[in-house]
Amino acid sequence: MSHFQTRASEHLSLASPGDFFALLKPRVMSLVVFTAFAGMLVAPGKTHPVIGFAILLAIAVGAGASGALNMWYDADIDAVMKRTARRPIPSGRIRGDEALAFGLILSAFSVLLLGVVANWLAAGLLAFTIFFYAVVYTMWLKRSTPQNIVIGGAAGAFPPMIGYAAVSGSVTLESLVLFAIIFIWTPPHFWALALVKAGDYERAGVPMMPNVHGAARTRFEILVYSLVLAPTGLLPWALGFAGPAHGALAAAGGLGMIIGALRVWRVGAPKQAMQLFGFSILYLFLLFAALAAEPLVAALRG
């Protein structure tokens, strides 16, 4: 092998398409797309199915770009945490500069696409969301405060607002309520997992709530947020932009969150924490599924 070929081979990536797909955090992306879709359906007005698909594609790509930038910056943390050590960058399958370039290119593409196919308000919200997650949360909050997931949770709460704005061209009380639901849902959801993974965060030096203020304080905070979340989840029905199916699911799911949080507070075992973590995902899914289903049914009947 020539000197040139040897030097070139040193710069060849070992990544497969699946590795680059993993950079997008597909599980997080699916939740983003789902809640954004609900926001689109709740919004007043109609959009052509092709335009609607392009809007969701732009939001999905933007969410994936955020994930890639997060993995680029957090590669040092991911390398020492068991649940993240096999991610593409710490495992050596993708270089950091590749992930950075990938994330930046996707960020620009997603914002431009959304601006062209929808409107620049939605595109601006998407750009701010990417910035907030990659810079404000990942680069600053995550390593500096145990309130990281509380403030940083705003990034995950923006997608339904972006979907709403993409269809309606506005930000209204309805879209702010959808934002509030996810924003308040994030701490009890994530802290339930953090109780179980506290050792991982301790090794990585990430100041999560259980590591800084202890498990007892974290369990209490989970209960407080769950008590606030239950009535917040009812707001779409109470304000009249969701129907009785959503109201019933929100009431039952909110009660389930409170019961689960009470069990975590009283017992504090990993089993109860993981049960609440799993139930919180189901709760949010059903809440937004009901929001999305009612306009769809109405449109089909019309």
pTM attached to this predicted model: 0.92
**In angstroms, what CA-CA distances link 80 with 73, 94, 133, 204, 221?**
14, 17, 21, 6, 27
Fold match, 15-171 / 173-302: no
Tens-place pLDDT, residues 189-222:
999 999 999 888 888 889 999 999 999 999 999 9
How does pLDDT run along the chain (302 residues), one tens digit per residue? 444 333 334 445 677 888 899 999 999 999 999 999 999 999 998 899 999 999 999 999 999 999 999 999 999 999 998 888 899 999 989 999 999 999 999 999 999 999 999 999 999 999 999 999 999 999 999 999 999 999 999 999 999 999 999 999 999 999 999 999 999 999 999 999 999 998 888 888 899 999 999 999 999 999 999 999 999 999 999 999 999 999 999 999 999 999 999 999 999 889 999 999 999 999 999 999 999 988 777 666 66
Report the CATH number of the 173-302 domain.
1.20.120
User: Class for domain 15-171, per CATH?
Assistant: mainly alpha
- 151 Cβ neighbours under 8 A, 6+ residues apart: 136, 137, 141, 145
Nearest to 191 by CA among 169, 213, 171, 172: 213
For the chain, give every domain's residue range.
15-171, 173-302
